[in-house]
A and B are shown apart, each in its own frame.
Chain A
Amino acid sequence: MKKSLFNKDIIFWGLFVVVFGSVPFLKQSDYHLMLANSILIWGMFAVAFNMLFGVTGMLSFGQALYYGLGAYSVGLVVKNYGPSLFLPAIGLGVVLAVITSILVGLLVIRLSGVYFTVLTLAFGQLAWQITFRWYHFTGGDDGIQGIMPSGVLENHTVYYYFTFVLVILAIWFLRRVANSPMGLVLRCIRQNPERVRFLGRRVRRNQLRIYVISSFFAALAGGLMTGVTNSIHPDMFYWTTSGEVILMAVLGGIGQFFGPFIGATVIIIIQDVVGARTEYWSLIIGLIMMVMVLGMPRGLVGEIRGLKARFAPGRMSRG
């Protein structure tokens, strides 16, 4: 079983590398590169978020706080000290996110269920308000524009591959965590935290760990995104950003490790294809979500795995 899991992982990685690695060669315009880059970054964000939600059962509605923190660290550093500090600024963003997530995490993990969700939302909105109103420092609702990476990263293809490698490392790391003994404890926490305590494992410590890890990658996503859109805006802190990542995870399937990545891909492509033709794209997303929640509660990847089990007699679904 372990071996087959390993094989499948190899196949996934192979496909992932081939599809995303070939975008710069197949693209018809810079726009495709940008679209693929957004998919990679949002995909990483969604997978990291799902470690919290799907794996540990902690529905955070405030991951935008870390995404925004990552983005604004880069934006403010580049604006005030020049683009040569683009990379160190991404580092600064994730460090700040780790510190903030430890402080915020110590407070929020004391609650569970809807109380946890509401408190994370409150922290996210607090950060949004501060960014929105602290006009002289953050640029207020105008945001900050013209954030360009420096040196070789200025080249769009180089920046794409830079993101690509980081996303591979991030997903590989998160996959390792999910399959580690810690990942097992996290799943147990989702199902029965009391029992985990009885088994002699620390629930809160593990919850805090995964909260910090997830926030780390949210900030990395925010920082990397600034290099794609070259501008930042307080909306990055807004609850709709957290909502979007939840949507991606649910659409792809929260019970599957790679589900949120597929969810991110589908949502970004729908936004692009439908958004280019009609302003009613949100209606389409709404309808899809309705169908998903009512008819396919396990998400795209989950349902496909379910189908696979149904049409392969004698095989059990692990979904």
Chain B
Amino acid sequence: MSRSKYFCVMALALVAALVCSIPVYAQEKIIKIGALYPMTGRAGLYGLDSVDAAEMAIEEINSKGGVNGYKLELTNTDSKAKPDYSVMVAKRYITQDKTHFLFGVVSSAVGLALTEVSKQYKKIFIGTDHASTQLTTDKFQPYYFRVSNNTFQSMAAGALYLKELQQTKPWETIAYIGPDYAYGHDQWQELKYNLDRFGVKYKSVGEYWPKLFAPDYTAFITSIINDKPDILVAGFWGGDTVAFIKQAQPYGLFKKTLYFHPDAGGNYELMSAMGSELPEGLVLSARHHNNWPETALNKEYVEKFFKRTGRYPTYAAEGAYAGIYAIAEAVKKVGNPDDTEALVKALEGLKIQLPEDPEGFTSYIDPETHQIVQVQAIGLTKPNDKFPPAKMMLGDWKIYKAEDLLPPKDYAERLKKK
């Protein structure tokens, strides 16, 4: 066989592979949702939980006959948390698979890359689990909607908590530890901004920037002990929280200073990983809690998820669950999943009752920023073994009204100027 022949073979293989990659869909009325969750690596659990919860929501809706005769269908591709690869897949979803919605994403970097694709192709992108405030402020584009809280909302609730705390238990000094990348830096900036906004007086005595996924925090722990802050604000993500708390405990850090972690600290992942080792009295929050609010909807959601997967959900799951219901509601209003502009209008201001809504409150999407507006609850770690393997859960809740947590109107301008 000459070289020309095998190049022929290669060329044919290329064409064959391209043709094979075209999926075949049955001719029924389907709302196609193209998701991009990481299924491997450090963020793998978040992806797994999100896909399970999204499929659970889809089954619930489809078993009741779907939406206006349409069935929902989710396709997930492992994003590998890589933006360039995710962009390729998103373009495949839109141009080839004719997906109606882009969906998901754990990493903010992937979210920022996909919002550009969504803007370019005028396809709605439902963000379920990435917290970068930029997406709904200075990088905002009309086809992007987020159905989970962003870091600004968590930090605004955190600042209000610290303000109240100052009145009951006076504190003066504060320090921050967070991963040295955008997510870590954003949280600290936003907390300081909100503390100033709410007129809280404080003195910052230290900032510590370990690397993301750093294995050893000893040097930081000893510095924190030397700097003696009254409050230690943490901005860790994922398994880093577990590693830090485990390493800091033998130093008695949590007896000397109040550990305060309002964005992702209260994730069930931490409680299940640490069991009874988790110290009592840490102040944590997350975008969803398995034991708050004690509404029928939340209980049913958590139990159903447990029955389906054999584990309790992390906060990521509820974001995906909310995303599917938001899509279903919007399609119900419009009547079909093809009229993107009408769907955008339907999603703007959409009210949707979610597991994380307390009695008397319904989450809604802010028509201006396309950010969901939700109540935030901050709690203290307390013994509670109702959600094994966790032995500690949050309790003594403090609840913050959704409207108080939104960024002021000029915030996007402020970010742009930076």
Contacts and interface: CB of A to CB of B under 8 A. Distances in A.
Interface of A: 8, 11-12, 15-16, 18-19, 26, 28-32, 34-35, 38-39, 132-133, 135, 139-143, 145-146, 225, 229-233, 235-236, 258, 262, 265, 269, 271-273, 275-276, 279, 281-282, 301, 304-305, 307-308, 311-312
12 contacts: A8-B4, A16-B7, A35-B18, A133-B181, A135-B181, A143-B83, A229-B88, A262-B10, A272-B17, A273-B20, A281-B78, A312-B1
B182 interface: yes
Contact of B115 (A15, A132, A145, A232): A145
A311 B3 CA distance: 14
A32 B96 contact: yes
Contact of A233 (B6, B18, B109, B117): B109
Kindly name the residue among B22, B95, B115, B180 whose own CB sees the greatest number of chain A CB atoms within 10 A: B95
Given A35-B18, A142-B112, A8 B2 contact: yes
Contacts of B218: none
Given A132-B181, A141-B182, A308 B120 contact: no
B84 A35 contact: no
Contacts of A236: 84
A133 B182 CA distance: 9
Given A142-B182, A311-B1, A265 B116 contact: no
A15 B83 contact: no
B108 interface: yes
Interface size class of B (residues with CB under 8 A): 35 or more
Contact of A141 (B21, B94, B109): B109
B22 to A, nearest CB: 7
Contacts of B77: 275-276, 279
Contacts of B115: 145
A258 B11 CA distance: 13
Interface string B115-142: 1110110000000000010100001000
B21 A272 contact: yes
A27 to B, nearest CB: 8
A86 B117 CA distance: 19
Contacts of B117: 230
Nearest to B12: A19
Contacts of A308: 1-3, 6
B343 interface: no
Contacts of B95: 29-31
Nearest to B107: A141
Given A31-B95, A281-B78, A8 B116 contact: no
B397 to A, nearest CB: 33
Interface of B: 1-4, 6-8, 10-11, 14-15, 17-18, 20-23, 39-40, 77-78, 82-85, 87-89, 91-92, 94-96, 108-109, 112-113, 115-117, 119-120, 132, 134, 139, 180-182, 185
Contacts of B134: 142
Contacts of B113: 143, 145, 229, 231, 233
Nearest to A225: B84
A229 B87 contact: yes
Contact of A276 (B14, B21, B112): B21
Given A19-B11, A233-B83, A305-B3, A34 B132 contact: no
A300 to B, nearest CB: 8
Contacts of A272: 17, 21, 88, 92
A139 B83 CA distance: 14
Given A28-B96, A30-B95, A276-B92, 10 more contacts: A11-B2, A11-B3, A12-B7, A18-B11, A19-B14, A31-B94, A34-B88, A231-B83, A235-B84, A265-B14
Given A31-B91, A279-B40, A142 B78 contact: no
Kindly list the 8 A-B residue pairs having the minimum CB-CB distance in the complex, ordered from nearest. Answer: A279-B78, A11-B4, A29-B95, A279-B39, A29-B96, A30-B95, A231-B113, A141-B181
Given A132-B181, A230-B120, A31 B92 contact: yes
Given A142-B109, A269-B14, A279-B78, A304 B1 contact: yes
B178 to A, nearest CB: 13
B33 to A, nearest CB: 15
A38 B88 contact: yes
Contacts of B88: 31, 34-35, 38, 229, 272
A230 B4 contact: no
A146 B140 CA distance: 12
A16 B15 CA distance: 13
Contact of B180 (A133, A142, A311): A133
Contacts of B87: 229-231
A231 B84 contact: yes
Contact of B112 (A133, A135, A231, A275): A231
A149 to B, nearest CB: 13
Given A11-B7, A28-B22, A233-B83, A140 B2 contact: no
Contacts of A233: 82-84, 109, 113
